[in-house]
Structure 1
Amino acid sequence: MSFFRKLKESVSKKTDSVTQKFMTGLKKTSTQFVGAISDLFAGRSKIDEDLYEELEEILIGADVGVTTTMELTERLRSEVKERKIKEPSELQPLLMELISEMLSDKQRESKLNLNEDGLTVILFVGVNGVGKTTTIGKLAHRFKSEGKKVVLAAGDTFRAGAIEQLETWGERVGVDVIKHQAGADPAAVIYDGIQAARARKADILLCDTAGRLQNKVNLMEELKKVYRVVKREVPDGPHEVLLVLDATTGQNALIQAKQFGEAVNVSGIVLTKLDGTAKGGIVIAINHELNLPVKLVGLGEKADDLQDFDADQFLHALFKEAMEEEMQAE
């Protein structure tokens, strides 16, 4: 069975509504990124160095990243020689297969880690403006709709309006928000959040944190303190430290991931605004260069547009047209 057929079979076993969300959310990337690759392979009569160089430009332009791009094209060269491929039209399914392999087994097992025997504590970190608070609100909505009791902790005491924004989400979703005054110690807010969540027999505590990088040293020390407080009060927590990144910022997202990773033990990525960019290749770069799974992706504005990342759905949404053409030709 061809790679395309295996992928289609895998996706066909999954929920149609989720498949549609990935298709819609990745339309810009599919049209521009994959469209450029398809045009490149269709417009050439031979596989030569010019083709590889142009492919590298397309991949880097889609935020696949220089390191990942170079490795990907080298692997493509090697496979072309080994399989004795002569026609450029045969390269697209091979490239897709190699990208799939880069989305490691760790990425494929990217479900959120929840504590089945008590309180789950999830910390959200990231710079301002990436969508942390909105992500927390959407995730609270999801957990509540699954019958779980959720509490929010307003640990971003620095940014004007952050506490009010989280309260608005709490009211909208119907969950309690633990807060202090603006300028308060974030670790104290998270401590009170843990005590309140336990007192209310909550299943999940979602913790917002500040995201100012212009005062990076203080921010990172603050995050370390929050992390220590959670560890002291919930020894097996935090169960997730999710770094929220804006997909539209491209390679800046990789830089942010490295900075936050030095301060706290980031366990996974939330990639917001994936529907707003034509450079969805950042998913591949994050997973491959940082060895961190993308756990959630934002595919739209609605509360249910925050989806668990699914590598097969991601690849299917990107390469659907190419898949159909290839399968018709078989």
Structure 2
Amino acid sequence: MAKVKYYFDSENLAYRKIKTKISTKFGVVALFLVASALFGFLCFVVLLNTPFFETPKDKLQAREIENYKLRYEILNKRMNQIDEVLADIEDRDNNIYRVYFNTSAIPSEQRKAGFGGVNRYKELEGYNNSDLVINTSKRVDVIAKELVIQSKSLDEILKLAKEKNNLLAAIPAIQPVRNENLKQIASGFGYRNDPFTKARKFHEGMDFSAKTGTPIFSTGNGVVERADNTASGYGNHIVIRHGFGYETLYGHLSKYNCRAGQRVKRGDIIGYVGSTGRSEGPHLHYEVHKNDEVVNPLNFYYGNISAAEYVIITKLANQENQSLD
């Protein structure tokens, strides 16, 4: 039973009962109901955020999160396998391909460098699994960058390989007159007696003595720069520019089998032995130039002679006899 409250009436000197207004009663009841509802809502929110109370939606999200974690773990394992394969390719690239083509290796720091400057992963921060997602994203970006670098490296190696093939084809690597057609190696590279003045003079090529009309072969791939008799002393002669700094000259020909501007390959017949110009008998005067400097042709006969034949030719070419031009 509710307590009855009184107040003292000073005018009448008596205690009188306090009567509560109906509106006040309704206000108290309404306030109680609002406070109860608010308290209940707060309790519900607290319960939702505790691990002791899960809604079906929470359980579904939890399963999805675990599924994503598992997928990220699988992705990282696959990236480990990719890393191993890529590391093997990079090792071969640096220690085989680039060594063979005499070009510098790509440093590991350059291959595996991250991305500086702006934080590329800021939008991934602030979540429960941010570390897992950010680290995986970084690995994906680094591997993608490594693949780009390796792809460009292989493009460079391919270009070098093509140039290497062209270089190997351009080097004057065979004898311009076949051994079976030779009478002798009349004179080699170096100081020899001039057949006309009898004075010692530097002989810039090799003389191959052979019958007039003996075929002369291009010693490497190239373009015929000239096929005429305008150069003093050489008579009918051919100059072939092979590229990569190589150039060959064939002098005292009886006739030509090519023309200026024509592309020739190693082993093509470009002319025939003769005795035109400043010559004492039928022979081929042959010179090799590298970067505009004369070099000993003997150093290039590895394409069509055996080791025994090379030794014999070397002995003959090094004899200090008289040249034929």
TM-score norm. by structure 2 comes to 0.23
As a proportion of its length, which structure holds more strand?
Answer: 2
TM-score norm. by structure 1 comes to 0.23
As a proportion of its length, which structure holds more helix?
Answer: 1
